Amino acid sequence: DGKPTTATINAASPGPVYDKRIFTQFAEHLGNGIYGGLWVGNDKTIPNTNGFRNDVIAALRNLSVPVVRWPGGCFADEYHWREGIGGKSKRPVKINTHWGGVTEPNTVGTHEFFELIRQIGAEAYVAGNVGNGTPQEMAEWVEYMTSPAGTLAEERAKNGHKEPWAVPYFGVGNELWGCGGNMRAEYAADVTRRYATFIKAPRGTRIMKIAAGANSDDYNWTETMMKMASGQLDALSLHYYTIPGAWPPRASSTQFDETGWANTLAEALRIDELITKHSAIMDKYDPAKRIWLAVDEWGTWYADDPGTHPGFLRQQNTLRDALVASIHLDIFARHADRVKMTAIAQMVNVLQAMILTDGSKMALTPTYHVFEMYKPWQDATVLPISIDTPWYHKDKWSMPAVSGSAVRGKDGKVHVGLSNLDPNQPNSVTVKLDGLNAANVTGRILTASAINAHNTFDAPDTVKPVAFTGAQVSGGTLSVTLPPKSVVVLELQ
């Protein structure tokens, strides 16, 4: 309703670290998430290094992706690691039963995954198979990857990698309430205890065990896992997708009106309530907050784009998705004491992707640009921000017009993210800087003329950040005029 926003950044009472692992990305054997999007193998027409395309790797390196979660998702609970090692021509060709029923050549397996993250400069988050694998298979995979000695280490060396790899994060299955085995919470807690028992890190190393957590508002799942299995765990996951309308996802990624905009952003904002309530349950069993809440799948989920392979979860990414991303990144700041890792779904060509490819072509999405703009948040210190903002209403959807977060970066500077969710009205934001005297402000803005603006291979720069001149700082007050439907990131000195 056009009223101004007032906010206070409390720089004198800094909060927890905004863990860089909040910027983890998820890459599943799904559609063109791996094959085509990252891996092009021997294709001479697409420049690549050891099979991984150079353009996509360079773009990901530019984001400083801290961790990559692989190989699923639902795929993980049917994945047998032995099928993805050794000579490529000997690897079995399987059917990817979850995702499109297409063949899975097993060309990208364990060695290729570690080559991928070596090129990106990221750490490994490997998800094990609890669904139709055994504890023995899981334990042997961990040993194959991490052990310095023994028969499995020798096999690894024979396959080209003498040195053990680091696996700092290991997922004890995925969505055990669904595609991971349709388990009841009590059963899943027992199964998790059993499998987790056999995940052993070699002396002097550490593997964090991340249990398959709740879907959305399944609080009973979190309660049961914490009550029965927390002793075995280092982290419990939470999956929450932003879906305008009911399951299964039917909304178009690009053809939407203001109602679709408001509906989607309202769904994204729900993550705040979900994290608050799941965290409160975790607090009962783990008041010291030893166990992370790892929101290791989040993002928008629309209908498959027209003309794409069914089940490949290929969707365009618009300015609306950029706002969904900034809303999540702001909300994670408020929960940074418990939320130390999150993973957007997914990295390339799947759901709320950073990057889209088609053959040799590549486009960066608006979501990519938000992740790039928020890079200073990685391992920064959260500065508490309170925001008093008017509400934006559309049909049955209502929400605070302005979302924001603030951090003191590792560079010592203060970074402020402000998003205007209202697609029609600008908003004047006055921020009181408590305990901070800034003389200079610079910034960038991500916006576009249309709510569904997006980047295509022919027009890849329709939505991209540009310099922002609508902010002034004097002494302890920051004044910002936020254009409608925009994400602004400011740097104060």
- Cite the active site residues: 175, 297
Q: Would you mind telling me the total number of residues written for the chain in this entry?
A: 493
Answer for which of 22, 27, 67, 74 binds ligand AHR (CB under 6 A) is: 74
Q: Number of H helices and number of E strands within the chain?
A: 9, 28
Q: How far is the CB of 148 from ligand AHR (least distance, A)?
A: 32
CA dist., res. 70 & res. 378, Å (int): 21
Interface residues for ligand AHR in 399-458 (CB under 6 A)? none
- Of 237 and 455, CB closest to ligand AHR: 237
- Of 18 and 75, CB closest to ligand AHR: 75
Q: How far is CA 105 from CA 35, 83, 94, in A?
A: 10, 9, 6
- Of 20 and 239, CB closest to ligand AHR: 239
User: Closest-CB residue for ligand AHR?
Assistant: 73
- Of 176 and 446, CB closest to ligand AHR: 176
Q: How far is CA 118 from CA 241, 265, 404, 458, in A?
A: 29, 35, 33, 31
Does 115 bind ligand AHR (CB under 6 A)? Our answer is: no
Answer for which of 28, 115, 234, 286 binds ligand AHR (CB under 6 A) is: 28
Number of residues that bind ligand AHR (CB under 6 A): 10
Q: How far is the CB of 33 from ligand AHR (least distance, A)?
A: 9
- Of 173 and 417, CB closest to ligand AHR: 173
Q: How far is the CB of 28 from ligand AHR (least distance, A)?
A: 5
Binding region for ligand AHR (CB under 6 A) out of 84-92, 269-277, 343-351, 391-399: 343-351
CA dist., res. 232 & res. 425, Å (int): 50
Does 267 bind ligand AHR (CB under 6 A)? Our answer is: no
Amino acid making up residue 268 = A
- Of 246 and 288, CB closest to ligand AHR: 246
Instruction: Decide: helix, strand or coil at residue 199.
Output: coil
What is the CB neighbour count within 10 angstroms for residue 263?
21
Does 343 bind ligand AHR (CB under 6 A)? Our answer is: no
CA dist., res. 477 & res. 348, Å (int): 40
Residue-wise DSSP of 16-74: -EE-GGGGEEE--SSTTSSBTTTB-TT-TTS-EETTEEHHHHHHHHTTT--EEEES-SG
Binding region for ligand AHR (CB under 6 A) out of 72-80, 242-250, 417-425, 437-445: 72-80
Interface residues for ligand AHR in 123-182 (CB under 6 A)? 174-175
Measure the CA dihedral 347/33/297/62, to 10°: -10
CA dist., res. 87 & res. 85, Å (int): 7
Interface residues for ligand AHR in 289-318 (CB under 6 A)? 297
What is the CB neighbour count within 10 angstroms for residue 285?
15
* Residues at the contact surface with ligand AHR, assessed by CB under 6 A: 28, 72-74, 174-175, 297, 345-346, 351
